Structure 1
């Protein structure tokens, strides 16, 4: 089959500018516990959003989704709104656990749980576009966790400041449930990725059972 082309490219100079902004912001950042440049993650998330038939604003939101949370804070959000518009800024805000990065910690403590519960609690009020960006982010993160768990075993959880990784596994199971509830709002092209997240999360759970036995908790309140 011959290649397909369009007379009106989906991605414009705005996307190019956002890519430059994102790679500049994350230039020195690596994926937790790896030598992988953080740019690999934001490129993967943008790619997944486009595969879900997201528009340019969503693709830009995917590139910038971690800028605020990973050190930029509210000043970066204001910059994003000025440069890329309120729609993109809203997507980034909706996909930030916190607008105040000093709050951040990954150890599964009380503050971590509060942020994760708040993030999950906002699913019903998020736009389909914001949910697609979130789904792309979580699918890529879950795939990376599963691949490295298969390779490294339980030592992977040290990246998250967690001895046995239970908090992270529970959170991803909660995410899978939350996306399943919003499945219809995500649109037909995104729905296979809801299934992909479920398969990946279930594989992480199954692998943890081989290493640790059955988890003591299934979901946050169960």
Structure 2
């Protein structure tokens, strides 16, 4: 059994404070719910404490402060956690590059990423895809404008990640992600 200690509790507080004013796009649900869901998926799929902490903090660099926050993570939670978080981030500063360019570069990076980065990223993509599918069932095509990539870009990015992670990613997570993305593509008329 994985033991979650004081570092995990501190990371939970840190993540909560970093994201306290954020909500999930289009839903009003506190952003922390996403971080907790990703962390749960990581732990349920064999993740260790460092990977669980990285799951809590996986969006911190990208959304809440760039390299300054990355250095806080390194100082508070160690080099391994910081490297996993960095590997999960599609950019480290502001302004962000254009959406498609950023996603293509991130996919290229993920093709050579280690297992910890692929575990956290797979959990992140699965939770996002589950939410998109649930929202699509409720809202239909009205879902897509909330995303910078729109319908085509969002579905392209999810499918591209599935194909990339199929060989080296965590099998159970990637298999479920493939099912969810396939259903989303089918409902959205892109299957």
Same fold? TM cut 0.5: yes
Say if 2:99 and 2:148, in contact at 8 Å, map to a contact too.
no
Match for residue 155 of structure 2?
169
Deviations 1:17-63 (A, max 9, x none): 00000000000100001110000000000000001111000000000
Match for residue 35 of structure 1?
28
Match for residue 168 of structure 2?
182
Question: Quick one: distance in 1 between partners of 2:184 and 2:94?
Answer: 28
TM-superposed deviation, 1:125:
2.1
Match for residue 72 of structure 2?
79
Match for residue 59 of structure 1?
52
**TM-score scaled by structure 2?**
0.95
Match for residue 108 of structure 2?
121
CA RMSD of aligned residues (A): 1.4
Matching of residue 132 in structure 1 with residue 119 in structure 2: yes
Say if 1:70 and 1:101, in contact at 8 Å, map to a contact too.
no
Question: How many aligned residue pairs are there?
Answer: 191
Say if 1:97 and 1:116, in contact at 8 Å, map to a contact too.
yes
Say if 2:87 and 2:110, in contact at 8 Å, map to a contact too.
no
Question: Quick one: distance in 2 between partners of 1:43 and 1:71?
Answer: 17
> Helix, strand or coil for the counterpart of 1:122?
helix
Question: Quick one: distance in 2 between partners of 1:99 and 1:35?
Answer: 25
Match for residue 180 of structure 2?
200
Match for residue 39 of structure 2?
46
Rg larger for: 1
Deviations 1:167-216 (A, max 9, x none): 11111110110111324xxxxxx31111100000100100011xxxx47x
Q: Is there any run of 5+ residues in structure 1 with no aligned partner, and where? A: 1-5, 105-110, 184-189, 216-222
TM-superposed deviation, 1:161:
4.0
**TM-score scaled by structure 1?**
0.82
TM-superposed deviation, 1:124:
3.2
Large movers: runs of 4+ above 6 Å: none
Q: Is there any run of 5+ residues in structure 2 with no aligned partner, and where? A: none
Match for residue 191 of structure 1?
171
TM-superposed deviation, 1:127:
1.0
TM-superposed deviation, 1:152:
0.3
